[in-house]
């Protein structure tokens, strides 16, 4: 008995030990980032727990020399529009696929779903040329329209359809008897019911758009139109080894959102488990 | 409205049209039409177009000429392409096992309900929610030759660390580790969900049969979660074939061509050299590779339906 107890303690210690090490590996880069962001450029090579001198000015320097507020705004409003569009069109189509009977609906759904395996990287070249012909290069239109109508939208249909399939039939039938149109059923009954699915989809779509890098890199040239990831990546080339500035910019780009998503984690994880992480 | 539709049954053409208008099928088509049109414009047409483009000599300026399979012949004889393929497979071969093994280990540890578990889960999940650009920038700095955390740490032990990202021996390894850490939380979550599905009675039964923990894992847990492990494996392989952001930020494909991967090569040919035809041919190769893994996943998934139920 005593032996077993000892064994248990040993297991617990090694259990927490392994987890602590892996968690540290994940967290240390962020602490290092925050630490460096306050360092003086001459102290980059020395290890200081609390930087001395403690330079808030690094942040001001970044804000003064780059249109950082624009990067923020661009990333934010693009992500908001992509999310709203995805949820609206995705849930509308998802509702139709789950609840309405029409010829070829299953085939159509499968067609849409199968496009999820076409990598965006494969169709980006023709899309770039289309956008060029339409004069939409170096605008935000491709960054908003392509995800909604393409990959993010299809993902949205999938998530919403799976959810609507679980909604009992009786609800709509009652509404139909009351003379509700299909759009009213969708808008007044189905959408309010699907709040959990919408929450999950919101977090997932917003985050994907917010972090998107490949498409902005291809479509955007002007500084004032850049999103945060693109601006940061190019900022890396610009400031070279001014790590303290790069880290201040990175802190500003990540920390506020990480705090928000810390609370939205559950929804995001649900999105992952529901769909196999895309 | 419903009554009107009923009344229209079996009446002349004009009324039949009215029957379609406002019927369930009508709304079905109406509701899916934005996405179907979008799918045609944004996915299907561009995809067919990129197959066509891969058969032309399309450059930034001038008109495209149809040149048949010339781009593909050029691919076969392009030593850079083969190096890029090799690098992509190397990246995948390093990343996938590392990611899956750590994710599985973490899921096994985190499935218990012990105090502090939530904190660990969050820590491991934070990189998943961070943008790949930021994560790569931080790690580029971590791997810095003089200024980097890792070499400064090694220095404490009197070891002089290498120039990680500029050394052909280490650059790819560094990128692999960074990528594995970024997304290990994603796979962990999938494994956690699968572990929760395993019937607890099976553990009890095997315990009564005298199986120890290791045997239990090998004979009960692993077979029960095999479908998820396999699905995750394929998804991770597909993801690894599409790696781009961390390469762009951390190494730019260097040193030399040592970390240049498939998507980076597509991007370089299309948007730096503006050789759209050739870039499309490489893109089609990427598509075929991903199609292959997707088909494998589908066929095996069907065979495992029994397990899943």
pLDDT in tens, A176-192: 888 788 888 889 888 88
Q: Would you say A115 and B44 are in contact if contact means Cβ atoms under 8 Å apart?
A: yes
pLDDT the model gives residue B305: 45
Q: Does A105 touch chain B (CB under 8 A)?
A: yes
pLDDT the model gives residue B308: 41
pLDDT the model gives residue B79: 93
Chain B residue with CA closest to A183: the answer is B27
Angle at B168 between CA B164 and CA B174, to 5 degrees: 40
pLDDT > 90: what percent of chain B? 41
Phi, psi of B56 (to 5 degrees): -125, 170
- What's the fold here for domain B70-308? MetI-like fold (1.10.3720)
- Res. A135: pLDDT tops 90: yes
pLDDT the model gives residue A124: 92
- Res. A57: pLDDT tops 70: yes
The rounded distance, in Å, linking the Cα atoms of A120 and A126 is 11
Sign of CA dihedral B71, B72, B73, B76: positive
Q: Measure A81 CA to nearest chain B CA, in Å.
A: 16
The rounded distance, in Å, linking the Cα atoms of A156 and B35 is 10
Q: Measure A86 CA to nearest chain B CA, in Å.
A: 10
pLDDT the model gives residue B3: 45
Distance of CA B256 to the CA centre of its chain: 26
pLDDT the model gives residue A92: 94
Q: What is the mean pLDDT of residues B110-133?
A: 86
Partner-chain contact A207 B129, CB within 8 Å:
yes
> Can you tell me which residue has the tokens 């934005």?
B34
The rounded distance, in Å, linking the Cα atoms of A189 and A196 is 14
Partner-chain contact A241 B187, CB within 8 Å:
no
Sorted by where each begins, the domain ranges of chain A are 2-58, 59-275
pLDDT the model gives residue B203: 79
- Helix, strand, coil share of chain B (percent; to 5): 75, 0, 25
- Helix, strand, coil share of chain A (percent; to 5): 80, 0, 20
* Range of weakest confidence among B51-60, B168-177, B226-235: B226-235
CA torsion angle for A130, A132, A134, A136 (degrees, to 10)?
A: 120
Residues 6+ apart with CB under 8 A from B71: B54, B55, B57, B277, B278, B280, B281
- Res. B83: pLDDT tops 90: yes
Interface of B with A in 269-298 (CB under 8 A): 270-271, 276, 279-280, 283-284, 286-287, 290-291, 294
Strand partners, B56: B66
SS3 state of residue B99: helix
Q: Which residue has the higher pLDDT, A48 or A188?
A: A188
Partner-chain contact A272 B186, CB within 8 Å:
yes
Q: Measure A172 CA to nearest chain B CA, in Å.
A: 13
- pTM comes to 0.87
pLDDT (tens digit per residue) in A20-41: 999 999 999 999 899 889 988 8
Total CB pairs under 8 A between chain A and B: 261
pLDDT > 70: what percent of chain A? 94
* Range of weakest confidence among A87-96, A116-125, A173-182, B27-36: A173-182
- Res. B10: pLDDT tops 60: no
* Range of weakest confidence among A137-141, A246-250, B108-112, B114-118: B114-118
- Res. A275: pLDDT tops 80: no
In whole angstroms, how far apart are CA B180 and each of A56, A254, A262, B97, B173? 33, 20, 21, 9, 11
Partner-chain contact A211 B133, CB within 8 Å:
yes
CA torsion angle for A100, A103, A108, A109 (degrees, to 10)?
A: 30
Interface of A with B in 26-45 (CB under 8 A): 26-30, 32-33, 36, 44-45
pLDDT the model gives residue B16: 56
pLDDT (tens digit per residue) in B247-293: 999 998 878 899 999 999 999 999 999 999 999 999 999 999 999 98
ipTM here: 0.87
Q: What is the mean pLDDT of residues B142-160?
A: 86
- Res. A48: pLDDT tops 70: yes
Burial label for A175, CB within 10 Å (0-12, 13-18, 19+), is: middle
pLDDT the model gives residue B208: 80
pLDDT the model gives residue B146: 81
Contacts of B157 in chain A (CB under 8 A): none
Confidence band, pLDDT 50/70/90 cuts, at residue B309: very low
Residues 6+ apart with CB under 8 A from B34: A89, A92, A93, A149
The rounded distance, in Å, linking the Cα atoms of A140 and A146 is 10
In 10 A of CB A137, how many CB atoms? 16
B137 vs A232, A258, A262: nearest CB: A232
The rounded distance, in Å, linking the Cα atoms of B214 and A21 is 23
Q: What is the mean pLDDT of residues B181-186?
A: 91
A127 vs B46, B127, B294: nearest CB: B46
Contacts of B140 in chain A (CB under 8 A): 236
The rounded distance, in Å, linking the Cα atoms of B179 and B304 is 30
pLDDT the model gives residue A119: 85
Residues 6+ apart with CB under 8 A from B7: none
Query: What number does CATH give the domain A59-275?
Result: 1.10.3720.10
Query: Looking at chain A, how many residues does it have?
Result: 278
Partner-chain contact B38 A115, CB within 8 Å:
no
Chain B residue with CA closest to A230: the answer is B133
Q: Would you say A37 and A248 are in contact if contact means Cβ atoms under 8 Å apart?
A: yes
Q: Would you say B260 and B175 are in contact if contact means Cβ atoms under 8 Å apart?
A: no
B24 vs A12, A102, A210: nearest CB: A102
């Amino acid at each position: 008995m005593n032996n077993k107890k000892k064994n248990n303690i040993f297991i617990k210690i090694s259990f927490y030990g392994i987890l602590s090490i892996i968690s540290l590996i994940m967290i240390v880069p962020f602490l290092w980032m925050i630490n460096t962001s306050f360092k003086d450029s001459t102290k980059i090579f020395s290890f200081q727990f609390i930087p001395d001198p403690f330079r808030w000015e690094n942040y001001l320097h970044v804000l003064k020399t780059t249109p950082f507020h624009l990067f923020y705004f661009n990333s934010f409003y693009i992500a908001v529009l992509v999310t709203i569009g995805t949820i609206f069109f995705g849930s509308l189509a998802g509702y139709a696929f789950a609840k309405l009977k029409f010829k070829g609906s299953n085939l159509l759904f499968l067609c849409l779903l199968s496009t999820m395996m076409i990598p965006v990287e494969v169709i980006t070249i023709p899309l770039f040329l289309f956008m060029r012909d339409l004069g939409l290069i170096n605008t935000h239109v491709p960054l908003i329209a392509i995800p909604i109508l393409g990959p993010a939208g299809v993902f949205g249909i999938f998530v919403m359809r799976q959810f609507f399939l679980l909604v009992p039939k009786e609800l709509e039938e009652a509404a139909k008897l009351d003379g509700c149109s299909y759009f009213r059923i969708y808008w007044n009954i189905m959408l309010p019911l699907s709040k959990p699915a919408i929450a999950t989809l919101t977090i997932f779509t917003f985050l994907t758009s917010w972090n998107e890098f490949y498409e902005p890199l291809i479509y955007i040239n002007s500084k004032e139109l850049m999103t945060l990831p693109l601006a940061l990546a190019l900022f890396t080339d610009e400031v070279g080894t001014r790590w303290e500035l790069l880290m201040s910019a990175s802190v500003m780009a990540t920390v506020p959102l990480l705090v928000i998503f810390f609370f939205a984690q559950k929804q995001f994880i649900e999105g992952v488990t529901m769909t196999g992480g895309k | 409205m419903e009554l009107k539709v009923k009344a229209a049954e079996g009446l002349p053409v004009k009324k039949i049209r009215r029957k379609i208008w406002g019927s369930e099928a009508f709304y079905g088509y109406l509701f899916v039409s934005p996405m179907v049109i979008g799918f045609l414009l944004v996915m299907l047409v561009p995809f067919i177009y990129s197959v066509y483009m891969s058969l032309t000599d399309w450059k930034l300026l001038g008109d495209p000429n149809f040149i048949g399979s010339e781009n593909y012949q050029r691919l076969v004889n392009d030593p850079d392409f083969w190096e890029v393929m090799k690098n992509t497979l190397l990246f995948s071969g390093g990343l996938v096992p590392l990611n899956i093994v750590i994710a599985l280990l973490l899921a096994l540890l985190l499935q218990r309900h012990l105090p502090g578990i939530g904190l660990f889960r969050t820590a491991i999940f934070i990189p998943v929610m961070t943008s790949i650009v930021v994560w790569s920038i931080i790690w580029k700095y971590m791997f810095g030759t003089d200024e980097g955390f890792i070499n400064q740490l090694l220095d404490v032990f009197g070891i002089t660390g290498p120039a990680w990202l500029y050394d052909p021996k280490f650059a790819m390894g560094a990128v692999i580790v960074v990528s594995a850490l970024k997304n290990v939380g994603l796979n962990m979550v999938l494994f956690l969900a699968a572990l929760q599905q395993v019937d607890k009675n099976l553990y009890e039964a095997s315990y009564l049969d005298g199986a120890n923990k290791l045997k239990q894992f090998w004979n009960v847990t692993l077979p029960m979660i095999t479908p998820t492990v396999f699905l995750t494996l394929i998804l991770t392989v597909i993801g690894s074939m599409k790696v781009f952001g961390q390469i762009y930020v951390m190494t730019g494909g260097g040193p030399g061509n040592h970390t240049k991967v498939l998507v980076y090569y597509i991007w370089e040919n299309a948007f730096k050299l503006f050789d759209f035809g050739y870039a499309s041919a490489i893109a089609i190769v990427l598509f075929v590779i991903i199609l292959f893994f997707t088909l494998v996943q589908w066929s095996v998934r069907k065979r495992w339906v029994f397990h899943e139920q």
